[in-house]
Amino acid sequence: MSSTAQLPDPSGHFGVFGGRFLPEALIAALDELTAAYEKAKDDPEFQAEFTGLLRDYAGRPSIVTEAPRFAEHAGGARIILKREDLNHTGSHKINNVLGQAILTKRMGKTRVIAETGAGQHGVATATACALLGLECVVYMGELDTQRQALNVARMRVLGAEVIPVAIGSRTLKDAINEALRDWVANVDTTHYLLGTAAGAHPFPAMVRDFVRVISVEARQQVLDLTGKLPDAVCACVGGGSNAIGAFHAFIPDEGVRLYGFEAGGDGVETGRHAASITGGSIGVLHGARTYLLQDEYGQTQESHSISAGLDYPAVGPEHAWLHQTGRAIYRPIDDAPAMEAFRLLCRTEGIIPAIESAHALAGAIEVGRELGPDATILVNLSGRGDKDMHTAAKYFDLLDAEAEQS
Amino acid sequence: MTGTGTTTRLTEVLAAARADNRAALVGYLPAGYPSVEGSAAAMRAMVEGGCDIIEVGLPYSDPQMDGPVIQRAVEHALAHGTNTHHVIDNVRAVAETGAATLVMSYWNPIERYGVERFASELAAAGGSGVITPDLIPDEAHEWIAATDRHRLDRIFLVALSSSDERVAYTTRHCGGFVYAASVMGVTGARASVSTLAGDLVARTRATTDLPVCVGLGVSTAAQAAEVAGYADGVIVGSAFVRALLDAPNERAGLDAVRALAGELAEGVRKR
Ligand SMILES: Cc1ncc(COP(=O)(O)O)c(C=O)c1O
C-alpha cells in the first residue's frame, strides 16, 4: 500500500478512477490550477500563510475528546472524537476553503464560485471570501435553499450572493452543474472552490492535502493519549473530504482499519439512499470516474438522506480506489441509526454533532461491538449540529405545536 | 446510409459542401423532444429545410455544457422515458434521408451502455460519428479503439482557451471534423458570435486538414453567413430547440424548424 501516498498519478488517476471528464474549455483552467497548486505545495510562504490561518483563524489544532459514556453503547471500545466541530464555522470544511482561497489570490483571481448542499461549504466559502476580500457567489439547489434557510441567511450576512438553482433535481448535483457553467463563462477571473474531495484533477488531490491535517494531528494525539495507534478510524462519506482527511495519514499504518460510512437513507435496498460505493456502480460524474448512483442508461439517480451534507449521488475517486483495493471499508448507515447516534452523543457527552457526523458515530457503535472492549476507535466529528436543529426537532417531535407554526 | 469504403457519410457531405464553395449546415436536436417520434420528424424536417448534418442529442441528467433552452427540452425528454435505444432509433430515421447523422452525447451514458455496444449499434443504424463534449482524448483510449473498429468519426472539441499544443493534440485524435467552440460558455443563442472564433479556426487549421465546424451561439442566417466566412460548417442547436419549444403544436414545430433550416441554409451559402 505504500505507493498510495504517491497517488494520484500525474494525470490525476487513482487506478482506474479520477481523471478529467470535463469540457476542453476548462482544461486550461485545470492545468493552471494544477500548476499553481504544485508550486504552492513546495512554497514555504504559502504553507506559512495556510498553517497560520488554520491556527489563528480556524482554531487549529482541533482537540480530541474521549467519549466514555457514549462508548458504553459501542461494545465498551475506547472512543476518541476528533473535534472538527470546534473549528471556526463549525466543520472541517474551513480547512479546504482556506487553502483554496489563498490559492485563488495567488492565481490573481478576484471572484470565487462554490456549490453547497447543506450550506456548510457555502458558509465556509463566504467566510474565507470575506476574510480575504474576494467576491463570492454560491450556487445552491432551490430545494436546499428551502431546507437550509438559516445557512442561506448566514452566507448573505457574510456578503455572498446565493443563487438558487431551479433545474434538474434542484439539489447539490444541480448546483455543481450550474457552478461549472458559470466557471466556463468566467474562468479568467474566477476560481471554482469545490467543497469536497471529488471532481476533476487536481481537485481530489488538492482538497485531500488541505484536509489531511485532520489525520496528521489526530494520529499524534491518539499516540500521546493512548501510547498506540487506534485500531480503527471512522468517518462519514458524502463527497469524501472529511473522510479522506481523517484517513490519509493512517493509510500506511496497515494495522489501522479505515471505515467510511455512507448515507443509507431509508435503506440501500429501498433505492432511497446516498450510498454511492455500497449501492452504486462505476461511472463518470462531475469530472471524474468513480462510484455513483445511476440507472442502466447512465442517468444520474437522485440521492436521499436525512443529512443534506451526505445527500450527493457520487463520491471522490480516492475513496473509490481505497474501496477497490480493500484498504478502506465502506458501509451504509441508514437515517434511523444515524439519528439514534445523534441523540446518544447529545445525551451521553453533551456534544451535539452534525447529522453527517452522526453517521460516523453510528458506524463506530457497530465497529466497537465488532472489535470489542480492547479496541480504540477514532471518530471524526466532522461538524457541529446547530444547523440541524430544525431537522432533529422534527425527527424527534420536539417542537410544541405552536412553535411549529411559526 | 453509411459512407463508401473507409470514409463516412459525414466526410462525403463535408467534401461536397466544400466543392460547392459553401459551409455545411449542422443542426442539433435532442432525441425525445417533444417525443421520440416527434424528434425524428423534426430532424427530418430540418433535413428537408436544408441541414446537411444532424446531431441527435442523447438526453442526459447532468448537461454541464448546455444552457437553459436545451436543458428544458432534455429534462422533458428524460421525464418521458427517452433512453439510448430511442437515440439510436432517431439516428436510423435521420440517416435514411441521406443526411450525415451524428450523436452528441456526454460520456457517462456511452460508458454505461457499453462503449463497444454503443459504437456497433450506432454504426449499424447508419450513424457517422459522435460528438463528446465532456470527453477529451486524454481519457478516450477505449473510445478511440471502439470508434476505429466501427469506422465512426470521433469529434472532440477545441476551445478558445485551448493552447496550441492542446489544439494539435485534440485534432490528431479527431475524425470527420473538428468542433470549434466559439465562446467560453454554454449552449444558447447569443446576440453576436465571438470574433475570437475566427482565430481559433485558424489555429485549428494550422494543425489539421480536417474540416473545422463552429458551434455555440449561432441562431440567425446573418450569423451563419458570418461564420461560414471562415468555417467549413456552422452548428446550430439552441435556435432549433427554441423553435420547437415555442411552437403551439407539433405541426407548427415542424414548420418552424424546417423554415429556420431554410434560412440558415441560405446563410451558409452567402460566405
Ligand atoms: C459536518 C459535515 N460533515 C460531512 C459532510 C460531508 O462532506 P464530505 O464527505 O466532503 O466530508 C458535510 C457536508 O456538508 C458536513 O457539513
Instruction: Indicate which residue's Cα is closest to atom 15 of ligand 1.
Output: A309
CA atoms of B70 and B87, how far apart (whole Å): 16
What average pLDDT does range A368-384 have in this prediction? 98
CATH label of the domain that carries residue B159: 3.20.20.70
Protein residue with its CA nearest to atom 5 in ligand 1: A309
Give pLDDT, residue B191.
74
Give A283→chain B minimum CA distance, Å: 6
Ligand 1 near A241 CB (within 6 A)? yes
**Structural domain boundaries, residue B148:** 9-269
pLDDT value of position A403 = 61
Contacts of A184 in chain B (CB under 8 A): 65, 184-186
Residue A346 lies in a domain: yes
Cβ <8 Å between B136 and A27: yes
User: With b meaning 16 or more CB within 10 Å and e meaning fewer, what string describes A363-393?
Assistant: bbbbbbeebeeebbbbbbbbbbbebbeebbe
The domain boundary residue, chosen from A202, A221, A248: A202
User: How many whole angstroms from its chain centre is CA A321?
Assistant: 17
A chain contacts of residue B170, beta-carbon cutoff 8 Å: 24
- Residue B2 scores a pLDDT above 50: no
pLDDT of residue A170: 87
- What is each CA distance from A282 to A18, A155, A300, A313, B172, in whole angstroms? 11, 35, 12, 12, 29
Contact between A124 and A107 (Cβ < 8 Å): no
What's the pLDDT score for residue B216?
84
- Cα B120 to its chain centre, rounded Å, is 19
Question: Least CA distance to A176: which residue of chain B?
Answer: B64
Domain limits at A80? 57-90+212-396
Answer yes or no: is pLDDT of A2 > 60. Answer: no
Secondary structure letter of residue A58 according to DSSP: I
A295 and A181 in one domain? no
- Shared domain for A176 and A293, answered yes or no, is no
B12-47: pLDDT as tens digits:
999 999 999 999 999 999 999 999 999 999 999 999
Pairs of CB atoms within 8 A across A/B: 109
Neighbours of A289 (CB within 10 A): 24
What distance lies between CA A355 and its chain's CA centroid?
Answer: 12
Q: How much is the pLDDT for B190? A: 76
Give the Cα separation of B156 and A225 in Å (integer): 56
Q: From the CB of A87, is ligand 1 less than 6 Å away?
A: no
Q: Which among A20, A25, A185 is the nearest to B139, CB-wise?
A: A20
Task: Tell me what pLDDT residue B271 has.
Answer: 78
Per the domain annotation, does B1 fall within a domain? no
A271 assigned to some structural domain: yes
Which residue shows C-alpha cell 407548427? B252
Residue A10 DSSP symbol: T
Q: How far is the CA of A121 from the centre of ligand 1 (A)?
A: 8
- The closest alpha carbon to B133, from B163, B87, B170, B94, belongs to B170
Give a yes or no: residue A20 inside a domain.
no
Angstrom distance (rounded) from CA B38 to CA B90: 10
User: Percentage of chain A surpassing pLDDT 70?
Assistant: 97
Res A404: pLDDT: 55
Q: Is residue A10 part of a domain?
A: no
Instruction: Give long-range contacts, CB 8 A cutoff, 24+ apart: A32-41.
Output: A32/A107, A33/A103, A33/A107, A33/A191, A33/A202, A33/A206, A34/A201, A34/A202, A36/A103, A36/A106, A36/A107, A37/A103, A37/A202, A37/A206, A40/A102, A40/A103, A40/A106, A41/A209
Nearest to B166 among A27, A284, A297 (CB): A27
* Same structural domain, A82 and A101: no
Q: Of A180, A202, A224, which residue constitutes the final position of a domain?
A: A202
Exposed/middle/buried for B165, CB within 10 Å: 0-12, 13-18, 19+? exposed
Number of domains forming the structure of chain B: 1
Residues A288, A235 share a domain: yes
Sole residue written with cell 440517416: B95
Q: Is residue B254 part of a domain?
A: yes
pLDDT at B126 over 50: yes
The Cα B235–Cα B34 span in angstroms is: 21
Q: How large a percentage of chain A has pLDDT more than 90?
A: 92
Check pocket membership of A121 for ligand 1, CB cut-off 6 A. Answer: yes
Number of domains composing chain A: 2
pLDDT at site A1? 40
pLDDT of amino acid A169: 83
**Residues A76, A105 share a domain:** no
Distance from CA of B71 to the nearest CA of A (A): 8
Q: Determine, yes or no, domain membership for B4.
A: no
Chain centroid to CA B250: how far? Answer: 23
Mean pLDDT to the nearest integer, B151-160: 97
Average of per-residue pLDDT across B170-192 = 89
pLDDT beyond 70 at A351: yes
Residue A405: band (very low, low, confident or very high) from pLDDT cuts 50, 70, 90: low
Q: With respect to residue A337, please indicate whether it lies within any of the assigned structural domains.
A: yes
Q: Indicate if A140 and A252 belong to the same structural domain.
A: no
Chain A residues with CB inside 8 Å of B112's CB? 283, 294, 296-298
Q: Is residue B263 part of a domain?
A: yes
Do residues A149 and A175 both lie within one domain?
Answer: yes
Q: A303 alpha carbon to ligand 1 midpoint, in Å?
A: 15
* Residue B193 pLDDT greater than 90, yes or no: no
Asked if residue B182 is part of any domain, the answer here is: yes
Residue-averaged pLDDT of chain A: 95
Average pLDDT over residues B180-209: 88
Chain A hits for B214, Cβ within 8 Å:
none
Q: How many CA atoms lie within 13 Å of A284's alpha carbon, on the beta-carbon side?
A: 25
Q: Is residue A48 part of a domain?
A: no
The reply to whether B117 falls in a domain is yes
Do A302 and A386 belong together in one domain?
yes
SS3 (DSSP) at A334? strand
pLDDT of residue A402: 61
Q: Determine the Cα–Cα distance for residues B263 and B76; give it in Å rounded to an integer.
A: 27
In a domain, residue B220? The reply is yes
On the question of pLDDT at B1 being above 50, the answer is: no
Among A48-57, A121-130, B60-69, the range scoring the smallest mean pLDDT is B60-69
CATH number (domain holding residue A142):
3.40.50.1100
Is a pLDDT exceeding 60 seen at residue A406? no
What whole-number percentage of chain B has pLDDT above 70?
Answer: 97
Give yes or no for residue A43 having a pLDDT over 90: yes
| CB nearest to B107's CB, from A168, A180, A284 | A284
Residue whose CA lies nearest to ligand 1 atom number 1 = A383
Average model confidence (pLDDT) for chain B?
95
pLDDT of residue A41: 96
Residue B3 lies in a domain: no
CA of A383 to the centre of ligand 1 (A): 8
Domain boundary among A141, A168, A202: A202
Pocket test for ligand 1, best of A241, A286, A319 (most atoms within 8 A of CB): A241
pLDDT value at A224 more than 60: yes
Whether residues A340 and A272 share a domain: the answer is yes
Whether the pLDDT of residue A5 is over 70: the answer is no
Cis peptide leading into residue A252 (ω within 30°): no
pLDDT for position B129: 98
Would you say residue A65 lies in a domain?
yes
Find the mean pLDDT for residues A202-229.
98
Residue A353's pLDDT band (cuts 50, 70, 90): very high
Say if residue A381's pLDDT is above 70. Answer: yes
